[in-house]
Amino acid sequence: WTGLADHNHAAAGAPPPEPEALRRRGHALLTGQPEALSGLEVRGADLENSPRPAIILKPQPAWQAYRQMLGHYAVTTLLAWRIGHEEASLEDLSAAFAGERCRRWESLGGQLVPGDEADALRADIRTGRLGSWDAVHARLDALAERYPLDRARHAWAVLAEWLGVEPIDPPAWAEAIDQAIAIQRHRAEQIARTRAKDFENPFRTMVYRNQAEMHAVLGSPADDPFLQQVARETDAWIAQARTWRDRP
């Protein structure tokens, strides 16, 4: 979308390049200086059932935030896997998780399944190989048991792409942990900032005579149980991540 916006801005009316060329063009813009996107109207396609244009107001911050989500997901998932498989080294994981990243997943009643496994399930039902509900549920149970492995394999591929390295060696793993810790801290700070707005909203504060009265009823941001829980979970997550940062 960003590449197309830049193309339209520079050469209005000209046929756009191939999608891969647009992606490279957009990637260069999104990873560059914010000024490079000045004046671009980035439009999203097929975002709503309406003829009106859907405009991405902050494409670069949105792209960066989504990258952070990917990195945090990958590191969190692989940390959980390594904690459950303490004997496995990064070299072991690289061998076990080698291969193409699964890019198509399907939700079967809330159960996430790789797309090819969902296709195989439907095919086996059609051919009669799975001829009863018990057989179908047994297959789903087997897929559910394998899901942590599928998810870890997916997270490994996402992390390799996120870091731009293959295989993931100890220095790359340490870098990923450091970045994920920074993201976790930022996440906790943003949660606290959002909750603090509740105590600053004039439509919420107007029903109290003063701040002391409001705190007597609602408490203060520092005493908020949810924020305290977030702080505890953040500290625990960071401590755990640091423990595994230098594990080969």
Confidence of residue 25 (pLDDT cuts 50, 70, 90): very high
Q: Which of 118, 97, 85 is nearest to 161 (CA)?
A: 97
CA 83 – CA 87 distance, rounded (Å)? 9
Peptide bond into 202 cis (omega under 30): no
Residue 187 has a CB neighbour count (10 Å cut-off) of 16
pLDDT digits (tens, 9 = 90+) for 206-246: 889 888 888 888 777 778 888 899 999 999 999 999 999 98
CA distances from 164 to 91, 143, 156, 158, 168 (A): 17, 30, 12, 10, 9
pLDDT digits (tens, 9 = 90+) for 145-168: 999 999 999 999 999 999 998 889
Over residues 192-213, the mean pLDDT reads: 84
pLDDT of res. 198: 75
Confidence of residue 43 (pLDDT cuts 50, 70, 90): very high
What percent of the chain is predicted at pLDDT more than 70? 100
pTM over 0.85: no
Residue 112, token pair as written in the block? 């996430």
